[in-house]
Amino acid sequence: MRIAKQTQNFTQNRRKTFRVSFAFLFCVSFALLPLISEAASPQFLVSWQAEGYVPNWYRGKILPTNGTPVAISFELIDNGKIADLSKTKVRWYVNDNLVKNEENGLGIKALEINIPDYPGQETEIRISVVDYKGGETLDRIIKIPVVGPEVVIDSPYPDKKISPGLSIFQATPFFFNVKDLNSLSIEWSANEQKPKEFSVNPWLLNLNIGPETPKGTEIKLSVLVKNVLKELEFAIKSIQLQIK
């Protein structure tokens, strides 16, 4: 009698374990369905590159400002391979405005634009692959951040404290809508006064502080950089120095 009861309990426990295991496997499979579906669906591989100015040592992403030329391109990856879109309609939209479609040719995988938006905004690019393999339309939207031009003052002095005598500073511009420094102008000032002498390299400032300057004197060093080809494109940077 005792053995029969133990056998019955063992059978019931196995059934419970089976039900729990089945429920767990069902939940896991259900959770993985979207991932399996997503992996099986075609994927867009999109890249973009702006032509704004940056120093040659800069390795980050070049961000555009208003009017900056930007090249966008894509590939459609289907089952791990690049899809052949040579006979497929591809439509390009910039901020929901159609700018290129099948009237310009089939399988267009690249677009060049001048950024229409202003710093603090985003330019939205939508790519539509129409009737892919005779089926649905595939869409991909990317947003390109638009920034203002910047200038950085390199101050190699700890805590921005300098001694009387000669101190050297360098200004470096970023993201201006120009190809080289020749299209930029630069103006230095110290406590709102322009320097009396200029370096051969205008991007370097030789700041000469007289020995009579009291310790603790503060100096506001500023630089203004302008795009000579575009009046409203400029950047200002200031740092606070102190005589030690």
pTM equals: 0.78
Residue 24 has pLDDT above 70, yes or no: no
Give 100: exposed, middle or buried? Use CB within 10 Å, 0-12, 13-18, 19+.
Answer: middle
Give 180: exposed, middle or buried? Use CB within 10 Å, 0-12, 13-18, 19+.
Answer: exposed
pLDDT in tens, 124-151: 999 999 999 988 899 999 999 999 999 9
Please compute the mean of the pLDDT values over residues 216-220 and round it to a whole number: 97
Please compute the mean of the pLDDT values over residues 39-65 and round it to a whole number: 94
CATH code, 51? 2.60.40
Q: Looking at the structure, tell me whether residues 93 and 166 fall in a common domain.
A: no
pLDDT band at 28 (very low <50, low <70, confident <90, very high): very low
pLDDT in tens, 172-192: 999 999 999 999 999 999 999
CATH code, 195? 2.60.40.10
Residue 16 lies in a domain: no
Residue 32 has pLDDT above 90, yes or no: no
Among 92, 115, 145, identify where a domain stops.
145
Mean pLDDT of the chain: 87
Residue 29 lies in a domain: no
198 or 134: whose pLDDT is higher? 134
pLDDT band at 12 (very low <50, low <70, confident <90, very high): low
Tell me the C-alpha to C-alpha distance, in Å, between residue 34 and each of 24, 39, 76, 132. Answer: 17, 8, 20, 21
Residue 163 has pLDDT above 60, yes or no: yes
Q: In degrees rounded to 5, what are phi and psi of residue 207?
A: -90, 115
Residue 15 has pLDDT above 80, yes or no: no
- Supply the range of the domain harboring residue 212: 150-243
Q: Looking at the structure, tell me whether residues 216 and 123 fall in a common domain.
A: no
Q: Looking at the structure, tell me whether residues 123 and 173 fall in a common domain.
A: no
Domain total in the chain: 2
Among 114, 145, 176, identify where a domain stops.
145
Residues 6+ apart with CB under 8 A from 154: 169, 170, 171, 172
CA 107 to CA 104: how far, in whole Å? Answer: 10
Judge contact between 16 and 50, C-beta under 8 A.
Answer: no
